[in-house]
Amino acid sequence: MAGTNGKQKTVRDMILSLALIGLAAGFIYLLVPHDDHAPDIQRVDYRVELLTARRSASYPVAAPQGLPGTWKATSVRFQGENGDRWHLGYQTPDGQYVQVEQSTQKRADFIDDATQGASATKTTEKIGDRSWTHYTGGRYDALVLDGTTGSTTVVAGTASFTELTKMAAALKTS
């Protein structure tokens, strides 16, 4: 009998230890914050960079005018030493990404870089008085402005072509 009682205490102690460890783990889990939604991306004011780019670039720098306030500018940069490269990033109302990219770099290389590997399709679209070619694949879909000399303009991102078209339609150079 003496041997059985010792084994029962050992099993009981093990179960109690596991229960205590489970309670401690549950308590720690409750203390750790759990936030499943994406972090809020801060809006940026790009007016100063836009003025600088428009003074420095050898081409008419484009930026959107008249987009609803639900479109949020999230990133901006102008690199004069890198082919007068202009970048303006936006978050769409449904959380997708759209960027405006312009540069005097070699057209094919710039498009490949700005679209992250997308390829031209046979689809062109008239937006306002300008013609844009659709690019698909890679990481982004894109619209590339046709008929420009000296620079290339690309509207690309994870957003739908409908959203990309809204951005392209809103672009103004002054």
- Predicted pLDDT of residue 38: 60
23-74: pLDDT as tens digits: 988 888 888 877 666 667 889 999 999 999 999 999 999 999 999 999 999 9
At residue 8, does pLDDT exceed 80?
A: no
Q: What does the alpha-carbon distance between residue 104 and residue 86 come to, in Å, rounded to a whole number? A: 10
**For residue 81, what is the DSSP state?**
T
Distance CA 51, CA 156 (A): 22
The encoded tokens of residue 52 equal: 């600088």
Phi and psi at residue 18, to the nearest 5°: -65, -40
pLDDT at site 39: 66
| Out of 66-70, 79-83, 118-122, 161-165, least confident range | 79-83
Residue 6 pLDDT > 70, yes or no?
no
E strands within the chain?
63-64, 72-79, 85-91, 97-103, 119-127, 130-136, 141-145, 152-157, 171-172
In this prediction, residues 117-131 reach a mean pLDDT of: 95
The whole-model pTM stands at 0.77
The arithmetic mean of pLDDT across residues 81-91, rounded, is: 92
Nearest to 87 by CA among 117, 118, 52, 120: 52
Cα(67)–Cα(70) distance, integer angstroms? 8
